Structure 1
Amino acid sequence: MKGYSFRCNSALALSLCMAYAYLCENRCKNRDDQPICFYRSTIGNCSAPTDVTCLNSAQCIKGGRCDGSLDCPYDEDEFWCPRTTGNFEKSYYRQIKHRNDVDRTFDLHIPSYPQSHRLSVDFQRLQTTIRTKKFGRTVLQYESILRDSFWCNRGVAVHVNDAIECFCPPTYYGKRCEYFSDRITVVTHLDLSHFQFDIAMNNDTNVFIKILVTLRHEYNILDWHEFHVQSLIEINEPVKHKFHLLCSRSPLHLKIKQERQTSRQKIFHEHPYSIRFEAFELQTNQTIVELRAWHYPIYFDFLPSFRFATMLRFPSDYNNVSIDSCRRHRCQRNSICRPLFSTKNLYYCSCKQGYYGQYCQFYNDQCSVYCSPSSLCKGDYFIQSHGLEQPLCICPRDRYGPRCHLRFNSFCSKDRCQNNGTCLYTYDWSGETHYRCVCQDHFYGNVCDLEKVPINIRLSTIENVRATTIQFYEINKQSFQLDIVHQTVQSGLAEYIYYKHIGEVVPPLCLLKFYDDLFSFRYFIGYFWLSVNTINITRNPWFCPKANTYIEKLNISKCSSTKNFFLLLLLPIS
């Protein structure tokens, strides 16, 4: 069977290629069509086109072929009905598919890539003649097709005067975005667990930290990226940042890469590429305080891409004045020695404003007038991969732009957040989320206008347990699985359970796990109620005696979280 016809193997057949709809009316001489035309019998009184002989029976069913009634033991009398209508329309889907294929107008137009010539000045839409067969007739149709659909590969084509310019994504370059960029993908977030700041000095409980990330070749900066961290938000909800840093494709760096590829010893023992994360605290008085930096070497060259993932941590003793890596530094007078966060007993020389170079011996005159007065100018941040020659301006709080002359609008009015919520401005460059409300414990929502539902459970049982695991579950209405929404662990017996849930009703299931020792535990049900908006009860939890038996039968590890088999245990209890 191929397409919409059947080809017999025998060359002596009446028709080598027979139409699907008439397959069993004209039979193949060597009976190649027997698996399809099994119902046709050679018995004289059962040879009509609508007569059927069942597979495992010699009984003849007169007129039973494709009549909508299942007469044979395996319903084979209704099998392969190409011309049936009524309740069995799906059986002749090949006819419908073939008709739709014939009626379709083919308007596919794929321009060649890469094209050997530039586009002409005239970008008017072309009138293209397309010939199709429709019920045996030739139809002329005109379609409008743009010639530059695939001109820029993965980029965006923009008409500029009489030519096309391509806006390439970071991972591609070239006039038509046809080449891959040598790049490094960075994935990181800032851990604030050991971060300390002087609230009395700043008079602000929310500290802004700017992280400046640079890709370096020895002492030259190839590319950079920056992101902001808000301490009150990310102390408990760290944000993962992912971005690209591009390697320079200048003739000098291409020559360096070619030389390194021919020397295996250089690749093994010399690591000129590195990534540095510099941290700056943005204070409310428009002051920028440089904290320290994390510095990581790249141990092999890009092939053509490399992925670097790390967590930026503040050491627990970084404010200890007795531990100072800069006691015996060799920084020059135009720089300041600062210890490294990433490596103990090591330091780096941070150039003062406007200075740059290995020993901060050069000064960029643009820094005296280029950046805003309250910003910090870095004179050596010439982005070779971007073709930029301006220095980099590190903007203070509430400022942005290449020269820090633009100011963020103040969206945090006094009544922005309800119920004593704290309004925090977000550095959202998309403009979708200008601020965020940090709510009090009893409220939630975009502006803290919704109140959490309370759960208070006092256990009246007397159990001698080493630990208690408390879990609250929602029931997935489609899969009937249990989705955990909150869990906590307490030492000993949890006599009192208190939880504020974000939602209109409480989770329907509270599950308790009593540990008698490390590998021996019992399951209990705190409650199982549906559509309740508050819980305040004192009760004995329901014991689930068969829970461990179910776990063993399902071969589930005792340390894994439970899912859907608890629904079976809840049915007799509820």
Structure 2
Amino acid sequence: MMFFISLVCFILLPSINPQLQINLHLTDWTNYNEINFDLQHDCLHGPTHLIEDNIQYHQVISYCMGEWPSKWNIEENSFDQNYSFSQLKMLNVTSQQLYLWSAPMDIIEEYESYLNQSLFSNQSLALMATQLFYNCTQPRFGSVCQYSLDISTSSFSSSLKEIIHDFYLQLYEPTTWTCYTHLECNRGTSTACLDWTEICNGHIDCLNDEIDEKHCWQLELNDCEENEHRCKNGQCISKIFYHEGPNSFDCIDTTDEGDQGREDIRYRSQEPIFRFEDITREKDLRGETEMYFTTSRVLSRNDLILEDMFLNKPNSTSDECWLAYRCYFDIPNAFNPICNNICINRTCQEIINETCPDILFIPNAPLLFGHIYFAYTKEAAVEPYIRSLPPQYVCYNDQLCDGFYTNRTLLTFNNLTCRRPGDFPLKFSTLARDSWLNKYVKPLYKQLYKCNTIIYNISAVCDNSMMYQCINSSKCISKDRIGDDFIDCNYGDDEDPSVVYDICLKNESKIFFKCTTTTRCIHYQKVDDIKCDCGRNEYGLCDDEDGILRYITSHLSFQTICDGFTELIPVNIDGQNETDETECELWQCNNTYTRCDGIWNCFNGADEIHCNTSVSFSCPSNHHICVSPSTNQLTCLSLAKASDGIIDCLGATDEPELCRSISYSSTPSENTFYCFNNRSSPCRVSSDLCDGNKNCINGDDERFCSSTRNFSAYTSICQPKYYAFRSDVEKFLCERFTIWNKTLAVHFSLDTIKFNKVKNIIHSIPPAMKSIIHHHQYRCHRGLPLRIWQSREKNLTDITCLCPPSFYGNICQYQNQRVSLTMRFQAYSDSRRTLLALVITLIDDSDRRIIHSHEQLTYLYFRDCQVKFNIYLLYSIRPKNDTQNYSIHINVYDKILLTYRGSLLIPIKFPFLPVHRIAVHLNIPRINADIQSCTNQTCIHGQCTIYSEDSKGTSFCHCNERWSGKHCTIPYTCKCSSGSLCAGILANNRSLCVCPINKFGPRCLFNHTVCQTDQNNTCNNGGVCIPIDEHMQTDDKKFFCICAKGFTGGQCEIPDNKMILSFHKHIRLSQTLIIHFIKIISNSSPKNSSTLITIPIHRKTAIVNWTNEFHIAFVQLFVKDFYLITVQKRNNLSSIFEKTINPSDRCKHISEVLNETIVRLQPIRRIKYYHVPCHQSSPSLPCFFDDNHFCLCTDFNHQRIANCFEFNYMKKFDCFGGSSCKNGAQCLQDSSECPKTS
């Protein structure tokens, strides 16, 4: 009886008191060969969901055990209740319930197989019936409750995802090494090992045959396709990812996002995602304050390398001598604790003189490029009063660099050539406070960069057209390194402007930027690096800098025409210099874009009348508030006296041009307090007002200050904290003289744009974050600590680690060979509403065509078109087989029909690399595209198939189910559930299954129940419910809806906007109408989307359904025939809009509303007449257009004025290059970035 009571409690309690769900994967490892295979096992899957720089990322990280569980002798668990499969079946327990109760996935699958008894013999069933499920007491989990995460969790952590996320908020500052051990490397020191980032990083780290850079010349010769961007290290990425966002790194060296790649992992701790684990850093970055000996992002590794350098003293040198040198001269830094016990009985110089050799290397390891050492002499060290000691000699391998001063006395020491620093010549830092590293080592990095010789005297390489042969040298370098500000050639010819210009002119490299103001060419690395390399033009602008300013000064913008600030560089027309501020007589300067923006845009400041709300004092219309210089009280000043050249108001508020800053090369600003009679520095900022100091000669900045306050302000009364204590005069002047920078790029808007005051923003870590982030000694490095409960009775435990894919080992101390794959997919219009299964596999080219690892994605373009999928793929053996070629093979299936759509191939080049960082933009095969067959492959049980969109026509054997291998000759047993697809056999002998939509799990044995509930709780209005992948589900998001046309929203609950358009009988219609929708975006250009509808002949009514947000809509009947539909400041969701389009709604071409003389003017002159048609037209003109603008006539301040945005009615509609239309038809999409319809 008690047994049944316990069973009932066991079943009911989880539903009453929900528990944390932790399902362990890949626990059935009994068939693995622990010697030959290094397969992942005993894993937790942790999803990461990151949105940064408006980019959405998808990545699931597998944290797998770094040791085999067989090493522990786990005693029988008598503390947690266990149940046999037969007992669970008797109570109708489902596999879904075991899943929710944190059972390991392999046990759940075994139980589901047991329930499906028809598949097994009686003997097998009897054996399975005795298999046990343990109901673990949290926080323990595992097949016999033998594991628990050794992590302090918050009581608020409700999921494994949250626990992992919170754990990785701790700072990662390891004090021990992680190592890449698959390349034997002698660094010349005792314990330092190789980091994966130090292979092919352009610097020799291994002294044994320079093995870390031996094959890297192949990267120098790597040429990228037209649709690819070439990273500095030679890697190619899809061009669409270039400059995508400051923290979106796709180049392994981060050069796709420029200087933003300097971010420090120490300050931005997070899960071990690509952004932190799979990028490198430069050893020496311009502007950095430190010298780095590693390209690893983990900065504490630099400290470990430096420490190790000085542990490796020469055998012939005593400890006393070695430490005396280091302690006396602060090598490599001061405050070394060991120095407290050195030089006590004798001075350090006495110890050096008595115990040290005449010359020695300090440190006894190369400091730069694998062969440059510092040599110190006893003679110099014992000089009196010397505390900062530069090296007396710099020693190097003279076979690797040349081009120094000749006729100098050289010294040979330890088989190296040694020169005195002045004989190179070399210059050290003169800053007294600089450390030894920054004073002596760092300056040499750039000065001796030509000694960093990776490619040297290899004719097969140097003869390549992508290489440059250095003058008077057998050395050659990639042409992409020419002009990069680092001297690679012995005689510096690679930085000679004439060489740079010659290669740039011949277009022999894509890495150069051509200046327009001069004839120079510069390396793209120098663009936007804060230094002007092209030279400034007569207006102070620089081609390679000032990007936004250069655009503004050359781009005609309606929003900034005649606003009182000259943005456009003058254009000479008929002998006259024309700008955006000439011929402004007919311009309405008080408009949507200038009204109350804090700046006098109109000459007399009419646009700022009645805008000051800080005081209750008011003036009549056409008057400004003013502080009288004679009474220091508020008064009113008529517009006629504003900007008349005579100062009428204190601080010259009526003459703002006196303190207005206008420059093409800087941001315009105004509103500083003007001091009477100050010949120098007459303009003062608001922080100078009422601060107790007379900053103006006559004390103008203090004379109006209140004397009745009962406290002393030690800073200006204009400080925000004193707002409540200001008088009305102080309030007015403080606000008036708050510095306002004019907005550089003003974008189209229907509302008056309010000004933004300049504020100082202090970036800091929120207090809540500070309480979470704390130092933690990472025993498992970047892994999760896992406690092994060997004996609960004896309280006997051990600690191991669950390692992320980038590491392995018992403490995750070894760096893994891996493929880091980033993908974004584009689908043609025929596949945008189709649910797809993408099976991504890492395969080799052996006859077995082994699937080393895989990931499977459920992809829906509507949901995922903007997502970047990050996937780790690992090799099934360590190290990988260097004699084999590997590639990424992607099979595409229709998830609903389970039909094969095609395959994509991503070759993996450069097998010597430890980490392959691949970033690709891929097209999903069309639904109606025939799978191309071939005959050049012998496929016994399969079909010869050509990869989709493969320009080389690469083919492979697509095997039938239950067959594998290069030629489909190897049979295998498929263990996938019925109704699913067998897509192959994995290296761990498990089946690779593609599940139908209602199933999930490795073998598709589990039912998705979320979409089997009442449809009213899932998708409404005919929407199709799609379960979200189990690893990406959250408590509030377990399904996604594919909405029927006409509906949107998370549950298809929002009807689309519906337009019912009727056309006046006198309007001639075509059979196809283009509806243009304009969406206004704050601080950005408006977004234009279009759709095409057809109407039968003789019909005068059209119905348009539109899902997206919009503010302006107009219909295009023919090439120059537009009618305004609606203008709405706020988008109305689910609205039904009915309108009859009348002839009066027609938008006229500019030639119809302005005379021919004006129409023929240059655009810079013609646009200044654009308010005129709105003023003069009767009846009211709704809109008009020219070749580049679409203009609305709007009511503003009791007048009709124009408001224009850029619109090109002649633009070719080709779906942004993805058109599938034929016979000259146009293709329209509802969006340029992620179109849903076309």
> 1:363·1:379 contact (CA, 8 Å) conserved in 2?
no
Tell me the equivalent position of 2:926: 314
How much has 1:153 moved relative to structure 2? 4.7
CA distance in 2 between partners of 1:555 and 1:428 (Å): 58
* 1:400 partner amino acid: F
* 2:875 partner amino acid: S
Distance 1:179 1:303, change over 3 A: closer
Tell me the equivalent position of 2:670: none
Tell me the equivalent position of 1:227: 857
Residue 428 (structure 1) aligned with residue 1039 (structure 2)? no
The alignment covers a number of residue pairs equal to: 412
Tell me the equivalent position of 2:1105: 500
Residue 456 (structure 1) aligned with residue 1038 (structure 2)? no
Residue 536 (structure 1) aligned with residue 1139 (structure 2)? yes
1:384-423 matches, cutoff 5 A: 388=988, 390-412=990-1012, 413=1014, 415-416=1016-1017, 420-423=1021-1024
Q: Secondary structure at the match of 1:553?
A: helix
List per-residue Cα deviations over 1:447-482 (Å, max 9, x = no partner): 333334432334446579999753233455x65x77
* 1:422 partner amino acid: G
List per-residue Cα deviations over 1:8-44 (Å, max 9, x = no partner): xxxxxxxxxxxxxxxxxxxxxxxxxxxxxxxxxxxxx
1:290-305 matches, cutoff 5 A: 290=900, 292-301=902-911, 302=913, 304=915, 305=917
Tell me the equivalent position of 2:821: 185
Tell me the equivalent position of 2:945: 339
Tell me the equivalent position of 2:986: 381
Distance 1:171 1:74, change over 3 A: farther
1:62-461 matches, cutoff 5 A: 66-67=691-692, 72=697, 75=700, 84-85=713-714, 88=717, 90=719, 148-158=776-786, 165-172=800-807, 175-176=811-812, 179=815, 181-189=817-825, 191=827, 193=829, 209-218=836-845, 219-229=849-859, 234=861, 238=865, 240=867, 242-248=869-875, 250-253=877-880, 256=882, 272-281=885-894, 289-290=899-900, 292-301=902-911, 302=913, 304=915, 305-314=917-926, 316-318=928-930, 324-325=933-934, 330-332=938-940, 335-342=941-948, 348-364=956-972, 367=973, 370-377=975-982, 380-382=985-987, 388=988, 390-412=990-1012, 413=1014, 415-416=1016-1017, 420-429=1021-1030, 430-432=1032-1034, 433-460=1037-1064
Distance 1:279 1:391, change over 3 A: same
The two structures, once aligned, show a CA RMSD in angstroms of 5.5
List per-residue Cα deviations over 1:102-158 (Å, max 9, x = no partner): xxxxxxxx9xxxxxxxxxxxxxxxxxxxxxxxxxxxxxxxx9997635555544445
1:472 to 1047, 1065, 1077: 1077
List per-residue Cα deviations over 1:514-561 (Å, max 9, x = no partner): 765xxxx57764333556753322322253666998993399998878
CA distance in 2 between partners of 1:216 and 1:523 (Å): 56
Q: Secondary structure at the match of 2:1052?
A: coil
> 1:336·1:349 contact (CA, 8 Å) conserved in 2?
yes
The percentage of aligned residue pairs carrying the same residue is 15
Structure number with higher helix proportion: 2
Distance 1:325 1:275, change over 3 A: same
* 2:888 partner amino acid: I
Q: Secondary structure at the match of 1:88?
A: coil
1:552 to 1152, 1160, 1163: 1163
* 2:1091 partner amino acid: T
1:487 to 1087, 1090, 1102: 1090
Tell me the equivalent position of 1:45: none
* 1:220 partner amino acid: I
How much has 1:441 moved relative to structure 2? 4.0
CA distance in 2 between partners of 1:316 and 1:529 (Å): 41
How much has 1:569 moved relative to structure 2? 5.7
Distance 1:529 1:440, change over 3 A: same
> 1:466·1:515 contact (CA, 8 Å) conserved in 2?
no
How much has 1:276 moved relative to structure 2? 1.4
How much has 1:409 moved relative to structure 2? 0.8
Q: Which structure is richer in relative contact order (CA contacts within 8 A, separation 6 or more)? A: 2
> 2:1018·2:1025 contact (CA, 8 Å) conserved in 1?
no
> 2:947·2:956 contact (CA, 8 Å) conserved in 1?
no
CA distance in 2 between partners of 1:568 and 1:74 (Å): 50
Distance 1:90 1:357, change over 3 A: same
CA distance in 1 between partners of 2:806 and 2:718 (Å): 51
List per-residue Cα deviations over 1:309-359 (Å, max 9, x = no partner): 32131374517xxx7536x86223xx2225234259875334455544334
- Structure 1: state its 5+ residue gaps: 1-51, 58-63, 94-109, 111-142, 197-205, 260-270, 383-387
> 2:1061·2:1101 contact (CA, 8 Å) conserved in 1?
yes
Distance 1:454 1:86, change over 3 A: same
Distance 1:150 1:542, change over 3 A: farther
> 2:817·2:875 contact (CA, 8 Å) conserved in 1?
no
> 2:818·2:873 contact (CA, 8 Å) conserved in 1?
yes
How much has 1:306 moved relative to structure 2? 2.6
* 1:330 partner amino acid: T
Distance 1:216 1:169, change over 3 A: same
> 1:356·1:363 contact (CA, 8 Å) conserved in 2?
yes
Tell me the equivalent position of 1:100: none
Normalising by structure 2, report the TM-score: 0.28
> 2:837·2:892 contact (CA, 8 Å) conserved in 1?
yes
List per-residue Cα deviations over 1:229-250 (Å, max 9, x = no partner): 46xxx48985756232434283
How much has 1:213 moved relative to structure 2? 1.4
1:24-43 matches, cutoff 5 A: none
* 1:248 partner amino acid: Y
> 1:170·1:244 contact (CA, 8 Å) conserved in 2?
no
How much has 1:91 moved relative to structure 2? 11
* 1:527 partner amino acid: T
CA distance in 2 between partners of 1:159 and 1:65 (Å): 65
Tell me the equivalent position of 1:14: none
Structure number with higher strand proportion: 1
How much has 1:360 moved relative to structure 2? 4.2
CA distance in 1 between partners of 2:1000 and 2:921 (Å): 27
Normalising by structure 1, report the TM-score: 0.54
* 1:213 partner amino acid: I
* 2:841 partner amino acid: T
- Structure 2: state its 5+ residue gaps: 1-674, 681-688, 704-711, 723-769, 790-796, 1168-1184, 1203-1238
Q: Secondary structure at the match of 1:411?
A: helix
